[in-house]
Every structure is written in C-alpha cells, then in structure tokens.
A and B are shown apart, each in its own frame.
Chain A
Amino acid sequence: MQLTRLSELKPGEEAIVVKVEGGGPLARRLADMGLVVGAKVRVVRVAPLGDPMELEIRGYNLSLRREEARLVLVEVISSGAR
C-alpha cells in the first residue's frame, strides 16, 4: 500500500483517507467536515497561485491549504484521467 500526503495529489486524482496527523482543533475541524479515516476525496483543482486546493468529499466541495492537506495521509485509488 502506497501512502501519499493529500497535499501531493494532482487535480483529478482520487484517494481514500488513511490517517489524519496532528490531532488538536485542526484535525477535529477536518474530521467535522467529513475528512475521517475511510472517506473518499478527489482533488478538483488548485487555486491559480498554487494554494489552496479544492477537494470533493462527501458530495460537496471543500477548500484546504496545502499546509493543512499535508496532515492527511491518503491512498490513491484513481489517477482520475477523464
């Protein structure tokens, strides 16, 4: 199983959340928004200046800074070539 950080993913790639590092309020907030272990995420796009990134999760769109996305370890399931 190849683990990557969510921040490394490219637009179109889909992945499953394996672990959220860091703990504390930020991890709690990410979890509240649905980023818990087992959740499926897809990177929709990255902002024109390279940060933040936009994800699709649980049927809605969420934006995260790369710095925050770095805390999320994922397993890529699809390169999303459409």
Chain B
Amino acid sequence: MALDKAIGAKRELMIRVALSGNPNVGKSVIFNKLTGSRQRVGNWPGKTVEKKEGVYRYGEKEVYVVDLPGTYSLTAYSVEERIARDYIIREKPDVVVDVVDATNLERNLYLLLQLIELGAKVVIALNKMDLAEASRLRVDANKLEEILGIPVVATVAPAGIGLEELREKIVEVARAERQKPRIRYSRDFEEAIAEVARIVEAAEALRDYNSRWLAIKLLEGDREVLELVGKAPEGGEVLRRVKEVRGRLEQKYGDVEMAFISERYRVVGEIVREVVRGEKALEASDALDRALLDRYLGLPVFISVLWIIFQFTFIASAPFSDMIADFFALLSERLVGITGVSRLDYMLFGDYGLLNGVGTVLSFVPLIMTLYFALSLFEDFGYMARAAFLMDRIMRRLGLTGRAIIPMILGFGCNIAGVYGTRTIPDERDRIIAIVTNPLMLCSARLVVFTLIAEAFWGPAAGSILLSLYLASVLLAILVALVLRRLILRGEVSPFVMELPPYQMPSLRVAATYTWLRASLFFKKAGTVILAGLLVLGALATTDAATLGFTENVSASLAAALGRVFKPLFEPLGWDWILVVSVLFGFVAKEVVIGTMAMLYGVPEELFSEFLRQRYDPVTMYAYMLFVLIYIPCLATVAAIKHETGSWKYALLTVAYGVVLAYLVSLLASVIGRALFPGA
C-alpha cells in the first residue's frame, strides 16, 4: 500500500502528531477530517487495542497523525492509558493535539493537565462548540488559551469548523522550541516537585525524561516510574531522597497520589469557573434516557434494539452474500477445463477448489461490513454504553462484563461478527474472555447442519432438539467463561466505572470509513490465512493416499486416509471415517460438514435424510451435533480471533479447548444417551 510506504519512509521528515483525548469527544471525526482517506487501522503491537494512523499535507509539510486510545487519565493502570502515555514518552511526538469536549470541560481538562505534566507540546481542539452553545453553555476559548498559555482552537468537527486553524497551529507549535504552560499547583506541591526534579536532574541516566514529570510520578509512587528509576545507576540514592520529600507531603495530605488527583481537579475547577458561563442542560438526551433506561421499558427496548441490529445485519447482507457465493460457484463452473490440466483444474475450480473456497469466505464480507456499520452507528449514538448498563448485573454473574452482551448475541448470527463485536469492551481481560467464548455461540452456519440432521431424525420434534442445542451453547459459554476467569485470566470482573455519554447524531462518514478500513483489513490479513488453509485442505482432498498422485475420488484421498487414522479416537463416539472427515473439512466453514458427508456417501441430496437414518442411530447423531457445535471455530473465525487479540495464543487456545471440550461433552452425551435409550 502506498500509505504504508509513505508512513514508513518519510516518518523521520514528517511532523508527528498524536491525537489525545477522553472517549466520546469526537476524536475520530477530527482524525478523519484531518487525514481524509490517507489512513490505515491496525492494532498496537501485541495489544487488542486499535491503532489508527494517517498522513496529510499542509503546505510544504507532510504531517503524520496517530490516534491514541481515548482515555480519561494517563496512569499505568489500564492498557489504553499505558499505550497513550508510553507513546508520548518514548516516541516524543512533535505535537499532541488534545481534543477537549466543550460541554464537559472539567473532566477533559484533567487529562490535559497530565499531558502538560508529561512535557508534551500541546494544541487544544476545543470541540463540540455548537453543542455547548445549544445546551446554553458559554465557553470562552480565548480566555482558556490565556489561562493555560497553550493554543486553543474552537472546533465543530463534523462541519469542519476550525480544522484549518488547527492544521496551522499544529505546524506552528511543532516549530516552536518549547512550550511554557502557565499551570501551577499550590505551593506545597510545587516545592516538592521542584525539589525532586533537582534530584532527578542530577542523575545522568534519567536525562532523557522530562524531570517535572518524573518528579510528579515519583511522588505519586507510580510503579512503572519507580521501576524505571530503580534501574538507573544512581537510582537507589534518588529513590531514598524522594522518599523523604514524599514523606513530608504524606504527613500533610495523606495518600500522595490521591492528593495529586485532588489538586489537579482543584486547578481544573478554578479554570472552569473563569472560562465557562451557564449551566448545562441536555434535555433531549435526558428525556431519551428516561425512556431507554426506564425500569419497565428499558429491557424490552434493549431486546428490540438487538433484534433490529440482528435483522439489519443479516437480512441486509444476505442478498450480497448470496451474490458473491453464486458468482464464485458460477465462475468455477465456467472455468473448469480452462487450464487443460485436470488436476490443476480440479484443485482450482472443483467443488473443493480454491475458487469456491474463496467464494465461501468472501461471502462473509457483506455481513461483516453491514455489522460494522450498524455497530459503529449505535456506538456513536451512545446506546452501547446503555446496553452494558442494562445488562451488567446478569453478565457479571457469568464472569463477563455488561459490555459482552452485544458480541454474545451477534455470535448467534456469526462468530466472526461476535469476535469483532468485542471491540467495545474496554478491559483487555474481559475482552479476551468474550472473544474466546464467542465461538460457542450456535452460529447460523451450524444451524444449517443441525436443522438437516434434526429433521432427519426427530421430524416434528426437531425444534425442541435445536432449542436444546441453543441451551447447550449458552451454558457451555458460561461454563468456559467461569473457568477462564478462574484459571487463566484470573481476577474479578473489572470495575464498571463507565461514562454514559450524551446521545448524539451518529456520523455516517465515520461509520463508512471505519467499515471500509476494517473490511479491507479482513481481505488482506484473514484472506492470507484462509487461503493457506483452503489450499492445504484442497491438496489433501485431491491427493491419492496410495500413489500420492492426483485423484478425484475423495474416499481414496489423503483426507480420507487422515479420517481413517483418527477414526480409532472417535470409536467410543460411534463414528465412521466419513463423520471424521466431515468434521475435519468443517474447519473451513461449518456448512461444509453436510456437503462433505453428501459427497463422501455419494447420495443425492433428496435421499440424504433417509440415508442418514439408516446408517446412524439418534444418540450418535445428537452427540455428533454437540461435537460440531463445540469442536472448533471455522477458519475465518480463528483468523478473526488471531487478528483481534493480536496473537496466535488465544486463537490456538480457542481451538484446543474446543476440541477437548467437544470430545468430552459428546462422549458424555453418548454414554448417557445409550444408558437412557438402550434400544437406540
């Protein structure tokens, strides 16, 4: 990609800007307006947190912008905060643009004070000025600039107001040698800071860091900074002397860290009193909340909203998905014979050919895009936080957070959708649990398989059988979540300290850009993994087990041989090799289980049910369905897990626990089943 090159090669020559700010302040809109289409998304290295970068041109200058995670503070306690803080300390951006919500100045300025402490050169984008006016707040941008000693640009991001001035200020501040903010804390604090700063400055090894920031963090007892200083050669001595100063503050103010927080809020309060006139009134948002969070209406409304997202996502995308799948099937049919080499032909265009496989995978793309779009709109609107608020009590019992409810429900449509939907969960551990348990949700692809089998064996009772599988799906997800919480991602569900932002008009543009970027990432990254998987399976299915030559006869292929190898393992479950191979191929996509079975038996589809009934007993098949439900997420979901968690670790964990759990559960089911129905 051209942008990758632009960012990589010229990064040194560019002005580097970091966008910082609280969540829900309109940071994404500003990022989009600044960079236009020249942006890319990915993850922060080794983290599940999203990283957005972009570039734009201003006069002669190329400007690189990185969107830091939205945070309320800059401690080392949460992943997002650490990413933001480390970026500013280590990468030393030329300018930090702090996006500040004019309707919520108090909490927003608290973050600003911490940015100033870091010694960053800051430009403030005082955003949502239109909303401030509409809610009868008068925020004096000039006065704020005067008090802070930092450039303040009033903006209304969606309308593009103030952005030209923001671009100008960015270049101006980048050129300036240093910034002299006029923020001072009260005397006791400033004296302590100055004293510690002098101690730190004397230490050669700590020259790289801003001494005022180090001083404040040392006084606060920040664990990362204590460690950092401890490692320096003069560290022991520095820490000993800091302890003295800290002790004095402690005597007067108690917990020093808390005292600093209170002090920042005190300073913020003083600034706000001078800059803001009027009381905020958000009648529309409050009225909406009274309805949407109503004691009686709240939950029914939530269920309706879910239903709408679900319907919208799966119905709106279905025709496009079908078109893509049909297109590739047709293309395969047309292209058969074109290479003149029958083996190549079969591998590329046959039923298990690459092209058909690609079609299957690509047919998920419309679904993923529609889903992103819908989720982005609801998130932007402010409803997702409400959903979490409504459901937290129930979810928490299950070892999950309120925020996990949406992805869980989405998982019933498609696990890929569910996995990507976990993005709105702020705590990394909570998010990983939600991701790893999502593949247990009975997705629509599995429903295809189960409907066919259930109707063949249970006829009119098929509905109850399906319902029992749905129940099993939810119960197992809860079980796995609880076990994970106990064993691997130990600890309490993270605290539920969450802002309920005012509702706002969602930005179609942000949603569209986001959807497009995410979808292209799915093409690029998941595409490579999935393609490789398809190739392997294709090769296995077309290679003769005896001669290692080409075969069209799947039952003589390596895949079938593999099925026979694994068959003894599944003997206790009563499987033949065909069931084994079907499950093996089901890894590509769960629907394939049925297709594989049909092909291996060589029965036309009309007779398939009848054939199944003759060959297997209901107990075996029920246990088989449980196995298919649990055993492994499809290839695309595994790719999504890898992609969302940023590592193979959790993708492999999901596969591993799935296989083991599937085996145990279906073994248990068949043992119990045979005991209950000995005749079957």
| Given A36-B265, A52-B496, A63-B500, 10 extra CB contacts under 8 A | A31-B262, A32-B75, A32-B261, A36-B258, A44-B289, A48-B295, A48-B299, A49-B393, A50-B393, A65-B495
CB-CB under 8 A from A26, the residues of chain B are 495, 497
Q: Which of A47, A58, A64 is within 8 Å of B497, CB to CB?
A: A64
Give the interface centre of B107, B289, B501 by most chain A CB atoms within 10 Å: B107
CB distance from B643 to the nearest CB of A (A): 29
278-309 of chain B: CB within 8 A of chain A: 280, 289, 293-296, 298-299
CB-CB under 8 A from B495, the residues of chain A are 26, 29, 65, 68
- Contact, CB under 8 Å: A33 / B107: yes
CB-CB under 8 A from A34, the residues of chain B are 106-107, 110, 265
Q: Mind listing 12 A-B residue pairs with CB under 8 Å?
A: A20-B258, A26-B497, A28-B77, A32-B261, A33-B107, A34-B106, A36-B258, A48-B295, A49-B393, A52-B393, A59-B107, A62-B498
CB-CB under 8 A from B326, the residues of chain A are none
A18 at the interface (CB under 8 A from B): no
- Contact, CB under 8 Å: A33 / B497: yes
254-272 of chain B: CB within 8 A of chain A: 255, 257-258, 261-262, 265
- Which residue of chain B lies nearest to A29 when distances are taken between CB atoms in the complex? B497
Binding site for B on A (CB under 8 A): 20, 23, 25-34, 36-39, 44-45, 47-52, 54, 58-65, 68
Bound Cα distance from A23 to B104, whole angstroms = 27
CB-CB under 8 A from A59, the residues of chain B are 103-107, 280
Give the interface centre of A33, A62, A64 by most chain B CB atoms within 10 Å: A33
Bound Cα distance from A33 to B104, whole angstroms = 12
Q: Which of A28, A48, A60 is within 8 Å of B390, CB to CB?
A: A48
Q: Which of B258, B262, B265, B500 is within 8 Å of A27, CB to CB?
A: B258
CB-CB under 8 A from B294, the residues of chain A are 48
Closest 6 CB pairs of A and B: A32-B73, A49-B393, A61-B500, A31-B261, A58-B106, A48-B298
Bound Cα distance from A75 to B258, whole angstroms = 20
Given contacts A59-B106, A59-B280, contact A30 B390 (CB under 8 A): no
Bound Cα distance from A30 to B498, whole angstroms = 10
CB distance from A69 to the nearest CB of B (A): 10
CB distance from B73 to the nearest CB of A (A): 4
- Contact, CB under 8 Å: A28 / B261: yes
468-523 of chain B: CB within 8 A of chain A: 495-502
CB distance from B226 to the nearest CB of A (A): 15
186-223 of chain B: CB within 8 A of chain A: none
B664 at the interface (CB under 8 A from A): no
CB-CB under 8 A from A60, the residues of chain B are 104, 107, 499, 501
B394 at the interface (CB under 8 A from A): yes
369-421 of chain B: CB within 8 A of chain A: 385, 389-390, 392-394, 396, 402
- Which residue of chain B lies nearest to A36 when distances are taken between CB atoms in the complex? B262
222-265 of chain B: CB within 8 A of chain A: 255, 257-258, 261-262, 265
- Contact, CB under 8 Å: B258 / A65: no
- Contact, CB under 8 Å: B293 / A48: yes
B72 at the interface (CB under 8 A from A): yes
Bound Cα distance from A38 to B299, whole angstroms = 35
Bound Cα distance from A51 to B388, whole angstroms = 11
Interface string of B65-97 (1 = CB under 8 A from A): 000000011010100000000000000000000
- Contact, CB under 8 Å: B107 / A28: no
CB-CB under 8 A from A49, the residues of chain B are 299, 390, 393-394
Per DSSP, chain B at the interface is helix
Binding site for A on B (CB under 8 A): 72-73, 75, 77, 103-107, 110, 255, 257-258, 261-262, 265, 280, 289, 293-296, 298-299, 385, 389-390, 392-394, 396, 402, 495-502
- Contact, CB under 8 Å: B257 / A28: yes
- Contact, CB under 8 Å: B107 / A58: yes
- Contact, CB under 8 Å: B500 / A54: yes
CB distance from B390 to the nearest CB of A (A): 6
- Which residue of chain B lies nearest to A20 when distances are taken between CB atoms in the complex? B258
CB-CB under 8 A from A44, the residues of chain B are 289
- Contact, CB under 8 Å: B110 / A65: no
Bound Cα distance from A49 to B402, whole angstroms = 12
CB distance from B356 to the nearest CB of A (A): 47
CB-CB under 8 A from B295, the residues of chain A are 48
- Which residue of chain B lies nearest to A62 when distances are taken between CB atoms in the complex? B499
- Contact, CB under 8 Å: B497 / A68: yes
Bound Cα distance from A21 to B134, whole angstroms = 39
CB-CB under 8 A from A65, the residues of chain B are 392, 396, 495-496
- Which residue of chain A lies nearest to B286 when distances are taken between CB atoms in the complex? A44
CB-CB under 8 A from B501, the residues of chain A are 60-61
Bound Cα distance from A12 to B106, whole angstroms = 22
Given contacts A47-B389, A58-B106, contact A63 B496 (CB under 8 A): yes
Bound Cα distance from A28 to B385, whole angstroms = 22
Q: Which of A36, A48, A63, A64 is within 8 Å of B261, CB to CB?
A: A36
Bound Cα distance from A45 to B394, whole angstroms = 18
- Contact, CB under 8 Å: B497 / A62: yes
CB-CB under 8 A from B110, the residues of chain A are 32, 34
CB-CB under 8 A from A25, the residues of chain B are 77
Give the interface centre of B75, B262, B498 by most chain A CB atoms within 10 Å: B498
- Contact, CB under 8 Å: B104 / A63: no
Given contacts A68-B495, A68-B496, contact A47 B392 (CB under 8 A): yes
Bound Cα distance from A80 to B78, whole angstroms = 35
- Contact, CB under 8 Å: A52 / B389: yes
Bound Cα distance from A49 to B293, whole angstroms = 11
CB-CB under 8 A from B497, the residues of chain A are 26, 29-30, 33, 62-64, 68
- Which residue of chain A lies nearest to B300 when distances are taken between CB atoms in the complex? A48
Bound Cα distance from A49 to B110, whole angstroms = 33
Bound Cα distance from A39 to B269, whole angstroms = 10
- Contact, CB under 8 Å: A63 / B257: no
- Contact, CB under 8 Å: B393 / A45: no
- Which residue of chain A lies nearest to B296 when distances are taken between CB atoms in the complex? A48
Bound Cα distance from A68 to B106, whole angstroms = 22
CB distance from B311 to the nearest CB of A (A): 24
Given contacts A32-B75, A68-B496, contact A51 B107 (CB under 8 A): no
Given contacts A47-B390, A49-B393, A63-B389, contact A38 B498 (CB under 8 A): no
CB-CB under 8 A from B299, the residues of chain A are 48-49
- Which residue of chain B lies nearest to A51 when distances are taken between CB atoms in the complex? B393
Bound Cα distance from A50 to B72, whole angstroms = 27
CB distance from B387 to the nearest CB of A (A): 11
CB distance from A72 to the nearest CB of B (A): 11
Bound Cα distance from A36 to B266, whole angstroms = 10
CB distance from B303 to the nearest CB of A (A): 12
- Contact, CB under 8 Å: B392 / A52: yes
Bound Cα distance from A4 to B502, whole angstroms = 29
Bound Cα distance from A16 to B139, whole angstroms = 26
